[in-house]
């Protein structure tokens, strides 16, 4: 069976869906791994590294013609039509809305396994791509914000005077939000965080931040630890109250996903 690894073509996307290490494991199990020329360059994996692991460097069409195609980002319609009918695709499908990509997948009878739909349960942790990438995003958001802020994030005391710590507000306290809180605290910021689920306030405090508590008349706690969508009245009240808190912030990081 052939596994194809195309190069990601979304601007700024440096990831690749398969590494030389994983390629070696797949080849040892009898798979033929077809790597598009230059697919790993953005992640600092050369063609030679894939070939050394047993992979075969091919062109774009050949990578998409495999029995199983693994990607990071959602394929576009052109890429779906490069895949064989009845093939299997694995990657993020970004299924928040129905569009022409999903229609093309259905029309060509392609089985697509959406990595972001894997449940966050113990036995699925090694495959929880959404949590791992959210963790990185929360960290990177703070690092990028600190670079753009233009002033010191921590309290700085010098012979020329002192600078107060930056007030950082994190909106959304899921995987990305918790990592953003931890990173901002390590940088010495004065960190506040808000989530529609009141039960996460304990987690906010455990990381050394302060929860923003708003009385919006209802809880945003949903099933399985996830948030649920608020009523229109609660949304309006939330925005009004939150606006006052955000006026005081130097850095605002939003990580919340809208259900």
| Catalytic residue set | 120, 125, 128, 131, 226
Candidates 149, 138, 142, 139; CA nearest to 172 is 138
Contact 216, 237 (CB under 8 A): yes
Q: Which residues of 98-123 are buried (b: 16+ CB within 10 A; e: fewer)?
A: eeebbebbeeeebebebbbebeeeee
Helix segments in 10-112, DSSP class H: 20-28, 47-52, 60-64, 77-82, 100-107
User: From the CA atom positions of the chain, what is the Rg in Å?
Assistant: 22
Candidates 123, 169, 174, 120; CA nearest to 149 is 169
């Amino acid at each position: 069976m052939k596994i194809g690894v195309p190069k990601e073509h979304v601007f700024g996307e440096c990831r690749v869906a398969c590494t030389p290490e994983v390629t070696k494991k797949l080849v040892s199990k009898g798979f033929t791994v077809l790597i598009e020329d230059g697919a790993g360059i953005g992640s600092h994996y050369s063609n030679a590294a894939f070939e050394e692991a047993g992979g075969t460097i091919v062109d774009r069409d050949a990578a998409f013609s495999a029995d199983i195609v693994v990607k990071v980002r959602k394929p576009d319609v052109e890429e779906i039509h490069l895949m064989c009918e009845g093939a299997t695709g694995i990657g993020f499908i970004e299924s928040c809305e129905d569009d022409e990509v999903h229609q093309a997948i259905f029309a060509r009878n392609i089985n697509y396994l959406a990595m972001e739909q894997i449940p966050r349960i113990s036995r699925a942790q090694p495959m929880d791509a959404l949590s791992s990438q959210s963790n990185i995003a929360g960290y990177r958001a703070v690092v990028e914000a600190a670079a753009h802020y233009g002033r010191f994030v921590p309290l700085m005391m010098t012979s020329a005077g002192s600078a107060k710590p930056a007030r950082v507000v994190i909106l959304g306290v899921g995987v990305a939000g918790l990592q953003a809180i931890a990173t901002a605290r390590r940088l010495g910021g004065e960190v506040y965080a808000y989530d529609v689920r009141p039960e996460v306030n304990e987690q906010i405090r455990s990381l050394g931040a302060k929860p923003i508590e708003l009385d919006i008349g209802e809880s945003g706690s949903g099933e399985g630890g996830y948030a649920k969508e608020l009523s229109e009245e609660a949304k309006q009240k939330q925005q009004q109250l939150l606006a006052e808190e955000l006026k005081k912030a130097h850095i605002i990081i939003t990580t919340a996903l809208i259900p």
